[in-house]
A and B are shown apart, each in its own frame.
Chain A
Amino acid sequence: MADSWHESGATVWNAVPAALLANTQGIVWFGTVRDEQGQFLENATVQLDTGIIEHVAVTGIEGRFRLVLPKNIPFDAVIPYCARPGSHSAYIQRRPPPRGLDSPVELQCILR
């Protein structure tokens, strides 16, 4: 599963909206939550724990979320969690920003 997602990563990156790359107010975290069958999940909670405070988002109808974290928080200092009532994360992967940039960070959650 991890490999198949990794392979599709390039495609996902190509689809990053320019607005996310141009964000200068903070570090954009965005991504999707799906189940093991690949269905995008609405109303899943994504929590990003920076070690100082938790930031939380709920996915929309297409299973997507977007959060903006303060600029001074490196992406590897953030612990992500994903869950939905009745299911928890089986797999979480983050993809760092493009070289030379500190934003955006992409997160992929698979719930079981």
Chain B
Amino acid sequence: MYFGEQIVRPAVLVACFFLTTVTTAPVATPEDSYAQQFSNTVQMHIAGSSDKWLEKAAIFSDTPNDISSLAGVAPLMLETWFNDASQRFLIENDLLAGLQKHRFKETPSQNQYLPNDAKVLLLSWWPVSAKGATPIPVWQAKNSGAVERSNGYLHWPTAALVQTLEQTKTETLTDISQVAVAGKFRPISHRASLNSLFHILVTESVAAHWNEQKAGNKLSRMVLGRPLRAGDFLALVAAHGVWGDSGNGHWLTLWWQPDKPAELMPLGPSDIEQHYAFDSCSDSTLPREPDGSPNSCFNPWLEGGLVSHSGITPRQSNCISCHARASFPPQDFLNVTQGEQHIPPNSLPTGMLWSPALRARDMTTHHDEAIFR
């Protein structure tokens, strides 16, 4: 956000002049262009045409189950995709397999930032039944301010009921006012078509892939009451993206928000994009929020469930503030931070990406401190 203002503000002023004097055609703001790039990249993945991108499991071939698979944790069906430039960065900086072999005295400083053309995308899916309506919890901004407790999707008070186009032709669900989702009966706040979400059809191999993963298997059983099947759908409820650009990079996030509240920026002008809220940042602090606090940039699906021990709510968190600490050994990974943060002493930077750091931690048989002794 700050990066955009600094560089493009004069251009916007010129554009505004032409807008008022010459033409009424809309002019793309920098936010718009990042949102559009982000939307296009997400849609490219939905369409299955993401050439030269690789998913984390294909890069970190022996990655153990991630944290979302731990017992008790609210599961998310996550995929992390790396474009060719980010893959090269991981290989050239020995971040795939060699991380735990380093000693902190050898810290390569080039590890700190992603190269300009690197792009990384994290997608969060929600299982949707081929038959019958499927509930999706709905985040409400007004309930997101508590410091003392998590506000992950298990805590969201209402749910949307999502139907496929075929179901809406044959079933009317207006007599249902509550729905069981993730252990609780919740009031239905919205009824939505699957076409209001980016989604993919589940094939036999996709179903097998997710059912083998603890997080995917658990979430499907929580939501559908059974494992995922061919013919079901996966709907995109949230995504993070980082474009290397320069320095801290540009960080982008979106999430499905069926009520489209006015205070949230939509992803884009199309009907489906209007159902997604969008935010982005390129600085951990600027531009400041109206109350003077550091810039916030967060995603309720991906950060809402974090519990702060720093007095900061996830709603006040910032992508860069968190990822500036990404390093091996990973320290305090899940703490909520805002404002400028730095890599802890005696740590190896991992290009502002937590994936290599967490993977190296999970692959390490010794305790973190033992490696650096």
Contacts and interface: CB of A to CB of B under 8 A. Distances in A.
Interface in A56-88: 56-58, 66-69, 81-88
A56 B224 contact: no
B223 interface: yes
Contacts of A43: 221-222, 225-226
Contacts of B56: none
Nearest to B135: A85
B196 to A, nearest CB: 21
Interface stretch (A10-18, A44-52, A93-101): A44-52
A57 B154 contact: no
A52 B307 contact: yes
A5 B218 CA distance: 29
Interface string B144-163: 00001110101100000000
Contact of A47 (B75, B184, B223): B184
Among B185, B221, B305, B307, max chain A CB count under 10 A is at B221
B72 interface: yes
Given A51-B149, A52-B148, A53-B149, A81 B225 contact: no
Contact of A53 (B181, B183, B307): B307
Contacts of A87: 180
B180 A57 contact: no
Nearest to B132: A85
Interface in B48-88: 71-75
A55 interface: yes
Contact of B74 (A56, A69, A81, A83): A56
B73 A56 contact: yes
Contacts of A52: 148-150, 307
B28 to A, nearest CB: 41
Given A45-B183, A53-B307, A56-B154, A86 B72 contact: no
B183 A47 contact: yes
A54 B305 CA distance: 9
A54 B150 contact: yes
Contacts of A44: 225
Contact of B154 (A47, A66, A68, A82): A47
Contacts of B181: 83, 85
B221 A58 contact: yes
A82 B152 CA distance: 17
A83 B149 contact: no
Nearest to A51: B149
Given A43-B225, A54-B154, A83 B185 contact: yes
Interface in B212-238: 218, 221-226
A54 B74 contact: yes
Contacts of B73: 55-56
Contact of A56 (B180, B222, B225, B226): B222
B352 interface: no
B221 A81 contact: no
B72 A45 contact: no
B149 A58 contact: no
Nearest to A41: B225
Contact of A82 (B149, B155, B183): B183
A68 B72 contact: yes
Interface in B120-149: 148-149
Given A54-B155, A56-B74, A85 B224 contact: yes
Among A44, A53, A86, A87, max chain B CB count under 10 A is at A53
Interface of B: 71-75, 148-150, 152, 154-155, 180-185, 218, 221-226, 305, 307
Interface of A: 43-47, 49, 51-58, 66-69, 81-88
18 contacts: A43-B221, A43-B222, A45-B183, A49-B154, A51-B149, A52-B149, A52-B150, A52-B307, A53-B305, A54-B74, A56-B72, A56-B73, A56-B75, A69-B72, A81-B183, A83-B181, A83-B185, A85-B181
3 closest A-B pairs (Cβ-Cβ)? A47-B183, A45-B183, A55-B72
